[in-house]
Structure 1
């Protein structure tokens, strides 16, 4: 099977670095205000709405003055226009004393009409022309301040006041026609600039349009004329330049906020990830000093990821060390009987007739004994491999049921002191393997009696196995659970019995430890209670 390396996992496809992705995202975030300004025209549209609102306010004042002059002039009703149309939106509540006109133009959705059509020749009614002449001065002075274009029209759409086009008709203009019918109207039209705009202004669509507003003037419920106003909206570049102080502060805030976000992301996400990658490479290269927590984790998730990774690395390292040690022990344990078998076989082969029958039988017995030891060692290895990969079955048993499965051992007596009915969360067969190994060890060390007692509390069961044998010397107490450690190698001991017991109990969430005893040996087993 081919071994996979890091190149196999990552592939040769180009992928951006995390820092590159973060920088790209931050650039997009900084660009969003500019996108709103120049692509969606949000700010330009606001300037157009503002211009329309200003024209409505100025037109309303002029309309009120003009209506008062019409009433004062005593113009006959038959010279007025048609009735004022009812605006459904403004008359929704008849109890409201105020009915304001709201700006309606939208640069994003409204069609920009062609330049305003030229007026046509007409004759104004003398009575209305006299009123217009009286208001001409007010219009001229107002225009100097507001920069708006004013046209005051009579009920037939003829200009009676304004700097130009007096005596000509604008009745065919769409917004004027709507106002003469009694409805407020506004429109966006292409402007005719007196001089070309500066090159920088070309980025603004709003510089190429002009806002037109037509307000009907009502007297006694009939149309007395139209106030027709127009003005070019403020240019966005010019407006932003006028607000350059605030714009600069806003830009500094946006850039500063973006840099702060980038710094926080770098410290809390990017740096720990790169640190973990560097640690991974060092651990893969065999550097055990790299198996320690990062200096800075940044976030809780990164700390948990780092802890889980280091825990996995430590377990893999411990597993590797265990395998290496185990392989060393196995090779040593197998080498000794194999060497003895090989030596005896060579002597039998080379001696020929020179070796007497007694020596031949002795060497043959040595070969059989060492072969049996190898066979026992292999079986023990298979048992250890099986229990290390054993999954708990969920079965339960009692101490009495386990003892019933144990074969009779003529070398010693097994006695239950207490707790024979204690339940254990382990199968009877596996529990019997544990006790059988412990009893066999006691018998090999000269014990004549093995006492077993059990008790349970707080969901755990404790089984104590003690004997009256020779015990374990203080120098060997820390080695009893090491694989292949035995003091009875000459009598066939493999040193794997307690290793099998430890692995079997660990697979069932259990533990075993050697405890102090006045005589013999005492082991304490802890398992989940049934």
Structure 2
């Protein structure tokens, strides 16, 4: 679709703006690593929470068995530990659910658990620890968790080679001995610095420790101390390799799609426009045509503006070339005549009588006058083409009143003398004077002017009763130097000056059909 505005090379089709495309691409590119980072962070933290939840369940089961053994052993209350703190506002009473609370992103990862200190074990609790050791070993083989049973003083009564060592100084154990559930993240390897917050391997470098108080008759009868390393995120991802592969393919496809969108909407149109520019600069006229693919609205507008500019420059170049040809032809004839007459006057000398000498001298004067007229008309045409609108306004009556007296014909205003024109009185007079002179040269004795104003436009009809314009010449009347009255001094530039001046004021002129004579229609912005 070709339009008459600066967008004539652009089809009426919605296209995204370049800024929209660039922002979308940047957001997607930035989102890819952030989404991956966020995914690892959430997934790894979920593994930590899952491990803590499993240790809570295992610890609760072992604590129930431990508490029952304490009751069965008949251990007096004075050998038990601190009383349990009061439970305030517990809406779930008598249930005391414990939710996982560890957060890999916000919780401090503590150093490796300190070594236990040698201590004395109460025989009653030592007997309980001996009975439960088998249960702990069997459970550990399945859950891979490390179990330690502590008495009310924090001394290990069951737990492999740490039996008889006190862990009362460990932070989470101290909380449990006070009757509060506690959990901590600790480094697995001694003297290893805390890993970065978002390290992919962070979850595999820590160990989850859970300390759960054993409650008997409202007192702390001991602690179940459980620990385990959370599952490896890489191992989990390998287990979900099908989904991970699908996600990787999706990310790769998205990246390729982004590249394709950028190529089609930005890169390819730019390179196509560069190639088109080079071809036009090399003089290839066929290159002045719309691009096959614009991509974005800005690129479509840029392409349209560039092609309009190239088209106008080409038309200007053709016009200059044609104009130069006409000018050289128009100037060549009188110059040749002047040169011939001057050479005859010079070479004939005394052999030429006064009449012949006067005739050749008159020819020189006549041709020099024609040259002078041509130069003046060329200057008038140049001024008309380069005269910007002054912003002044006039009326038909004012423009006609400023016309020089022309005894060759009469000018009559039929209607619309008060119609305003958005051009100066001087320019309006130039337009009317050239049209009236053109009518007078073609035998007219009367010129009628009719003006109307509709929708902000002034429509002016100029009729004459002259000989009219033949059908073969109608298409050429606005061409510079075209005239059928060359022998009577016509230069063929009057209508060209009118056309250039009207174009400078956003106006038009055309020849319209009439029953007799000639009729021109002028459209101008109304004042």
| TM bracket (short chain) | 0.7 to 0.9
2:159 counterpart of 1:162: yes
Counterpart of 1:110? Answer: 108
User: Of residues 87, 91, 94 in structure 2, which corresponds to 1:95?
Assistant: 91
Assess, with a 3 A threshold, how the Cα gap between structure 1 residues 463 and 96 changes in structure 2: closer, same or farther: farther
Across the aligned residues of Structure 1 and Structure 2, the Cα RMSD in angstroms comes to 3.1
Q: Indicate if the aligned counterparts of 2:49 and 2:100 stay in contact, CA closer than 8 A.
A: no
May I ask how many residue pairs the two structures share in their alignment?
494
* Of 430, 433, 438, the match for 1:433: 430
Offset, 1:479: 0.5
3-state SS in 1 of match to 2:161: coil
Q: Secondary structure at the match of 2:184?
A: strand
Instruction: Kindly report which structure 2 residues correspond to 1:368-379, keeping only aligned pairs within 5 A, or say none.
Output: 368-379=365-376
Query: Which consecutive unaligned segments of at least 5 residues does structure 1 have?
Result: 1-21, 194-201
Q: Counterparts of 1:433 and 1:71 in 2: how far apart (Å)?
A: 123
- Aligned-residue offset at 1:72: 5.4
Once the two structures are superposed, what CA deviation does each residue of 1:407-448 show, in whole Å capped at 9, x if it has no partner?
Answer: 111111111112222222222221111111000111111111
User: What residue in structure 2 maps to residue 484 of structure 1?
Assistant: 481
Pick from 461, 470, 473: which aligns with 1:473?
A: 470
CA distance in 2, matches of 1:107, 1:461: 76
Normalising by structure 1, we get a TM-score of: 0.84
Alpha-carbon distance in 2 for matches of 1:388, 1:159 = 106
Deviates more, 1:152-161 or 1:184-193: 184-193
Is the 1:105–1:187 contact (alpha carbons within 8 Å) kept by the matching residues of 2? no
Q: Please tell me whether the aligned partners of residues 109 and 187 of structure 2 are also in contact (alpha carbons under 8 angstroms).
A: no
SS state at 1:518 partner: coil
Distance (Å, rounded) in 2 between the aligned partners of 1:138 and 1:105 = 30
The match for 2:146 is: 149
Cα distance in 2 for residues equivalent to 1:438 and 1:300:
45
CA distance in structure 2 between the aligned counterparts of 1:347 and 1:83, rounded to whole angstroms: 142
2:351 matches 1:386: no
1:529 aligns with 2:526: yes
Alpha-carbon distance in 2 for matches of 1:427, 1:75: 118
Aligned to 2:309: 312
Query: Which has the higher mean CA deviation after the structures are superposed, 418-427 or 184-193?
Result: 184-193
1:340 aligns with 2:331: no
Q: Residues of 2 paired with 1:381 and 1:405: CA distance?
A: 23
Deviations 1:56-113 (A, max 9, x none): 33223333443454455554443333345689xxx6x643556533332426763451
Q: Counterparts in 2 of 1:272-421, with a 5 A limit?
A: 272-421=269-418
- Residue 42 of structure 1 deviates from its aligned partner by 5.7
TM-aligned CA deviation for residue 150 of structure 1: 0.7
Q: How far off is 1:235 after superposition?
A: 2.1
8 Å CA contact 2:210, 2:225 repeated in 1: yes
Q: Does the CA-based 8 Å contact 2:48-2:230 persist in structure 1?
A: yes
Gaps of 5+ in 2: 1-23, 191-198
Equivalents in 2 of 1:330, 1:63: separation in Å? 113
Cα pair distance change 1:382/1:122, threshold 3 Å: same
**Counterpart Cα distance in 1 of 2:179 and 2:322:** 102
Give TM-score, length-normalised by structure 2.
Answer: 0.84
- Kindly indicate whether the alpha-carbon contact (under 8 Å) linking 1:392 and 1:508 is maintained by their aligned counterparts in 2: yes
Q: Structure 1 residues 520-529 or 255-264, which shifts more?
A: 255-264
Alpha-carbon contact 2:384-2:500 (below 8 Å) kept: yes
- Determine the C-alpha separation between the residues in 2 that align with 1:321 and 1:257: 51
Structure with more relative contact order (C-alpha pairs < 8 Å, separation 6 or more): 2
Partner SS state of residue 162, structure 2: coil
Task: Work out whether residues 396 and 420 of structure 2, in 8 Å CA contact, stay in contact via their aligned partners in 1.
Answer: yes
Q: Distance in 2 between matches of 1:186 and 1:69?
A: 25
Partner of 2:15: none
Which residue matches 2:78? 78
Partner of 2:377, secondary structure, is: helix
Q: Offset at 1:218?
A: 4.1
Aligned counterparts, 1:213-252, within 5 A: 213-219=210-216, 221-252=218-249
* Helix, strand or coil at the partner of 1:297: coil
